[in-house]
Structure 1
Amino acid sequence: MATRKRFWTPVLIAAAAATCIGTVGGLLTNTGIWYQALVKPSWQPPDWLFGPAWTLIFALAAISAIYAWRSAQDPSQRRWVVALFALNGLLNLLWSTLFFVVKRPDWAVLEVVLLWLSVLLPILVFWRRSKTASFYLVPYLLWVAFAAFLNLTVVQLNAPFG
């Protein structure tokens, strides 16, 4: 029974955390009048694509967390796994808040650098013990890089803000 619990605990926690961050991020994302009025580049994906893309990204991040947790050799390393994913989740929500709630894409473009770094850091940290955990985060890193370029382009097309 203890082995079964050790197997499922990280799965359930990672799934719950990814679902929570994704849900709160979705609730913060208001694509109403203000957002629709922004000039966006012609190459921006359609709005309907962002939900499925983020769902896939968070699912892959949850899988990465499971591999990283299971490869951790002691409670200290597990705390690092949790801390790195918690930091990323907070920065992800902060970006959504800055862009959609505060309506400051210019501030969000500065913050997205931190978000990108919060994806890169666990890739580097996990690499030694679990290359699989690192690989599962690569699509997230690429997506945030794309989102950062899109955010910067929106700022350039619509500035100034505030």
Structure 2
Amino acid sequence: MSSTTTRALSPCAVSRLRLLACLALVAVVGGIGGAVTAPAIPTWYEGLAKPAWTPPNMAFPIAWTLLYILMAVALWRLWDKVPPSAGRTLAISLFLGQLALNAVWSPVFFGLHAMDAALFIIVALVVALAFTVRAAFRVDTAAGWLLVPYLAWVCFATTLNAGIAALN
């Protein structure tokens, strides 16, 4: 027997690591979107006709930063605070699916300038996100509420995508 012992992480440490993992995962998705979006704003996006309800460009990074934090906390709650169950597995699986759609939208819209394809993706994102919110509410009310602003913003972003596609 070795004189060194392996200590398991405390539940609090595990919870913190899970929160950091959730923040990192969501930050990677946000980083992908930002890396593709930022160069297109002053060039391609600036030249597009936009709906009258388009917010100023500075609103987007502020909104998305807050939403990504809420999303990460919601995922952490689902992973860390909800006992393992079919409902939790469903909510986390749906969360990851909608996150993948979120990650694809910016490269399609801002990278490929494919507004119609991006509209298809964001409509799929709204549907996937609505199912995610519903599944989250079923297992953790707080996680569900943390995702509601994100769903509202994505619905608004869908109107912008549709408006830009129609005007251009």
TM-score by length of 2: 0.86
Cα root mean square deviation, aligned: 1.7
Structure 1 residue 46, shift from structure 2 partner? 0.5
Residue 71 of structure 1 contacts residue 129 of structure 1 at CA under 8 Å; is this kept in 2? no
The corresponding residue for 1:14 is: 22
The corresponding residue for 2:6 is: none
Is the counterpart of residue 72 in structure 1 residue 95 in structure 2?
Answer: no
Residue 105 of structure 1 contacts residue 154 of structure 1 at CA under 8 Å; is this kept in 2? yes
Give the one of 52, 67, 80 matched to 1:57: 67
Task: Output the CA distance in 1 between the equivalents of 2:147 and 2:77.
Answer: 11
Give the one of 112, 117, 134 matched to 1:107: 117
The corresponding residue for 2:146 is: 136
AA at the equivalent of 2:72: A
Structure 1 residue 105, shift from structure 2 partner? 0.7
Larger Rg: 2
Structure 1 residue 3, shift from structure 2 partner? 1.4
Is the counterpart of residue 149 in structure 1 residue 159 in structure 2?
Answer: yes
The corresponding residue for 1:46 is: 56
User: Structure 1 stretch 88-97 or stretch 74-83: which is displaced more?
Assistant: 74-83
AA at the equivalent of 1:92: N
Deviations 1:111-159 (A, max 9, x none): 111111222122111212211100000000000000000111111111x
Task: Output the CA distance in 1 between the equivalents of 2:105 and 2:164.
Answer: 14
Is the counterpart of residue 34 in structure 1 residue 44 in structure 2?
Answer: yes
Q: Which runs of 5+ in 2 are unaligned?
A: 1-8
Task: Output the CA distance in 2 between the equivalents of 1:137 and 1:144.
Answer: 11
Task: Output the CA distance in 2 between the equivalents of 1:123 and 1:33.
Answer: 35
**SS of alignment partner, residue 49 of structure 2:** coil
Residue 26 of structure 2 contacts residue 68 of structure 2 at CA under 8 Å; is this kept in 1? yes
Residue 69 of structure 1 contacts residue 81 of structure 1 at CA under 8 Å; is this kept in 2? no
AA at the equivalent of 2:26: A
**SS of alignment partner, residue 11 of structure 2:** helix
Q: Which runs of 5+ in 1 are unaligned?
A: none
Task: Output the CA distance in 2 between the equivalents of 1:129 and 1:153.
Answer: 36
What number of residue pairs does the alignment pair up? 158
